[in-house]
Structure 1
Amino acid sequence: MNKLMLIMVLIMWFCFGVRAIPLHPKQVDELKATGEFERVMKIVHSAKLRGLDAPQRKTINIMKDNGAERVTGSWKALIILVEFPDNLANKVAHDQAYYNTFFFSENVVSTKSVREYYQEVSNNLFDLTGSIAGWYMMPQNYSYYTNGEYGFGQYPNNAQKLVEDAIAAADPDVDFSQFDNNKDGYVDALFVIHAGPEGAGGGGWAIWSHAWAIAPKYYDGVYVTGYSMEPETGKIGVYCHEFGHVLGLPDLYDYGYDSAGVGKFCLMAIGSYGGDVNHPETPVFMNPWCRYTLGWLEPTNVTENLIAEEIIWGAPSQDVYRVWTKGTVGPEYFLVENRRRSTSFDKYLPTDGILIYHIDEKIKNNDNQWHKLVDIEEASGRQHLDYFESYGDAGDYFPGASDKRVFNDESEPNSKNYLNKESFAAVFNISNALPTMTADIRVYSPARAPTNVNLENYGSGTQALMSWDLNNENINYHVFYGTSPVDMTNDFFTKERSVILKDLLQDTTYYAMVKATNGFEWSPDSAVVEAFIYDTLPGIPQNLKGESSVGEIRLKWQKVPGYDIKGYNVYYKDEY
Structure 2
Amino acid sequence: MPALPTRLRPCAAALTLTSCLIAPTTVNAAPAPVAHRSSPPAACALPGRTGWTDEGHGTDRVQFQPATGTRRVLTLFVDFPDARATGPTDEYAAQLAPAADWLRTASYGRTRLALTSLHRWIRMPAAADSYGFERGLTFEAHEKYVRDAIAAADPYADFSRYDMVYVVPTREASAVSFSPTYLYDPTTSGVTADGTRIKWAVTFGQDLWHWGPKVADHETGHTFGLPDLYSFTGATHQYVGGWDVMGDIAGHAPQYLGWHSWKLGWTRDAQVACLAAPGRRTVRLTPVERRGGTKIAVLRTGDTTAYVAESRRAVGNDRDMCRAGVLVYKVDSAVPTGEGPVRVMNGNPAARPSPDLHPQKTAPRADRSHATGCTGLDLAAYTPGQTFTDPDSGARIDVLAGGGAGDTVRLSTGRTGQGR
- The answer to whether 1:306 aligns with 2:287 is no
Number of the residue aligned with 1:149: 135
- The answer to whether 1:288 aligns with 2:285 is no
Number of the residue aligned with 1:82: 78
**Counterparts of 1:458-477 in structure 2 under 5 Å?**
none
Letter matched to residue 231 of structure 2:
D
> Shift of residue 136 of structure 1?
0.7
- What is the DSSP-based 3-state SS (H/G/I as helix, E as strand, rest coil) of the residue aligned with 2:161? helix
* Structure 1 residues 357 and 64: alpha-carbon distance in aligned structure 2, compared to 1, 3 A threshold: farther
Name the structure, 1 or 2, with higher relative contact order (CA <8 Å, separation 6+): 2
Given that 2:241 and 2:251 are in contact with CA atoms closer than 8 Å, whether structure 1 keeps it comes out as no
Q: Distance in 2 between matches of 1:392 and 1:56?
A: 23
> Shift of residue 258 of structure 1?
4.3
* Structure 1 residues 176 and 103: alpha-carbon distance in aligned structure 2, compared to 1, 3 A threshold: same
> Shift of residue 127 of structure 1?
1.1
Identity of aligned residues (%): 20
For each residue in 1:136-166, what CA deviation from the matched residue of structure 2 results, as whole angstroms up to 9, or x when unmatched?
112222222246426x1696xx443322211
In the alignment, which of 205, 211, 214 is matched to residue 237 of structure 1? 214
Letter matched to residue 355 of structure 1:
L
In the alignment, which of 219, 226, 246 is matched to residue 268 of structure 1? 246
In the alignment, which of 144, 153, 156 is matched to residue 173 of structure 1? 156
Q: Distance in 2 between matches of 1:165 and 1:228?
A: 14
Given that 2:221 and 2:246 are in contact with CA atoms closer than 8 Å, whether structure 1 keeps it comes out as yes
**Counterparts of 1:179-328 in structure 2 under 5 Å?**
179=162, 188-196=163-171, 205-213=175-183, 215=188, 216-231=190-205, 234=209, 235-258=212-235, 260=237, 261-270=239-248, 272-275=249-252, 284-297=254-267, 298=269, 299-302=272-275, 305-307=280-282, 309-316=283-290, 319-324=294-299
For each residue in 1:248-286, what CA deviation from the matched residue of structure 2 results, as whole angstroms up to 9, or x when unmatched?
11111111134522120011011x1131xxxxxxx7111
TM-score by length of 2: 0.70
Given that 1:366 and 1:374 are in contact with CA atoms closer than 8 Å, whether structure 2 keeps it comes out as no
Given that 1:428 and 1:441 are in contact with CA atoms closer than 8 Å, whether structure 2 keeps it comes out as yes
- The answer to whether 1:338 aligns with 2:311 is yes
Q: Distance in 2 between matches of 1:80 and 1:121?
A: 25
In the alignment, which of 131, 136, 139 is matched to residue 125 of structure 2? 139
- What is the DSSP-based 3-state SS (H/G/I as helix, E as strand, rest coil) of the residue aligned with 2:52? coil
- What is the DSSP-based 3-state SS (H/G/I as helix, E as strand, rest coil) of the residue aligned with 2:131? helix
Letter matched to residue 397 of structure 1:
A
Number of the residue aligned with 1:373: 341
Given that 1:405 and 1:431 are in contact with CA atoms closer than 8 Å, whether structure 2 keeps it comes out as no
**Counterparts of 1:394-409 in structure 2 under 5 Å?**
394=379, 396-399=380-383, 405-408=386-389
Given that 2:332 and 2:342 are in contact with CA atoms closer than 8 Å, whether structure 1 keeps it comes out as yes
Number of the residue aligned with 1:279: none
- What is the DSSP-based 3-state SS (H/G/I as helix, E as strand, rest coil) of the residue aligned with 1:333? strand
Q: Distance in 1 between matches of 2:222 and 2:11?
A: 7
> Shift of residue 428 of structure 1?
1.6
Q: Distance in 2 between matches of 1:19 and 1:114?
A: 25
> Shift of residue 316 of structure 1?
4.7
For each residue in 1:6-30, what CA deviation from the matched residue of structure 2 results, as whole angstroms up to 9, or x when unmatched?
xxxxxx983579988xx7xxxxxxx
> Shift of residue 229 of structure 1?
1.2
Q: Distance in 2 between matches of 1:287 and 1:294?
A: 11
* Structure 1 residues 159 and 62: alpha-carbon distance in aligned structure 2, compared to 1, 3 A threshold: closer
Higher-Rg member (1/2): 1
Given that 2:258 and 2:288 are in contact with CA atoms closer than 8 Å, whether structure 1 keeps it comes out as no
Letter matched to residue 223 of structure 1:
R
Q: Distance in 1 between matches of 2:139 and 2:94?
A: 35
For each residue in 1:500-524, what CA deviation from the matched residue of structure 2 results, as whole angstroms up to 9, or x when unmatched?
xxxxxxxxxxxxxxxxxxxxxxxxx
In the alignment, which of 138, 144, 164 is matched to residue 161 of structure 1? 144
Q: Distance in 1 between matches of 2:139 and 2:407?
A: 52
- The answer to whether 1:356 aligns with 2:328 is yes
* Structure 1 residues 65 and 147: alpha-carbon distance in aligned structure 2, compared to 1, 3 A threshold: closer
> Shift of residue 294 of structure 1?
0.9
Given that 1:267 and 1:284 are in contact with CA atoms closer than 8 Å, whether structure 2 keeps it comes out as yes
Given that 1:357 and 1:375 are in contact with CA atoms closer than 8 Å, whether structure 2 keeps it comes out as yes
Given that 2:309 and 2:326 are in contact with CA atoms closer than 8 Å, whether structure 1 keeps it comes out as yes
Aligned length: 344
Q: Distance in 1 between matches of 2:385 and 2:284?
A: 18
Q: Distance in 2 between matches of 1:144 and 1:220?
A: 27
Letter matched to residue 350 of structure 1:
C
Letter matched to residue 267 of structure 1:
V
- What is the DSSP-based 3-state SS (H/G/I as helix, E as strand, rest coil) of the residue aligned with 1:166? helix
Number of the residue aligned with 1:14: 6
Letter matched to residue 113 of structure 2:
L
* Structure 1 residues 159 and 288: alpha-carbon distance in aligned structure 2, compared to 1, 3 A threshold: same
Given that 1:312 and 1:435 are in contact with CA atoms closer than 8 Å, whether structure 2 keeps it comes out as yes
- What is the DSSP-based 3-state SS (H/G/I as helix, E as strand, rest coil) of the residue aligned with 1:440? strand
TM-score by length of 1: 0.52
Letter matched to residue 228 of structure 1:
V
Number of the residue aligned with 1:130: 115
For each residue in 1:375-430, what CA deviation from the matched residue of structure 2 results, as whole angstroms up to 9, or x when unmatched?
1011135799xxxx955232x1112xxx861123xxxxxx24xxx2x33x322253
Given that 1:339 and 1:354 are in contact with CA atoms closer than 8 Å, whether structure 2 keeps it comes out as yes
Number of the residue aligned with 1:465: none
> Shift of residue 72 of structure 1?
1.8
Given that 2:75 and 2:166 are in contact with CA atoms closer than 8 Å, whether structure 1 keeps it comes out as yes
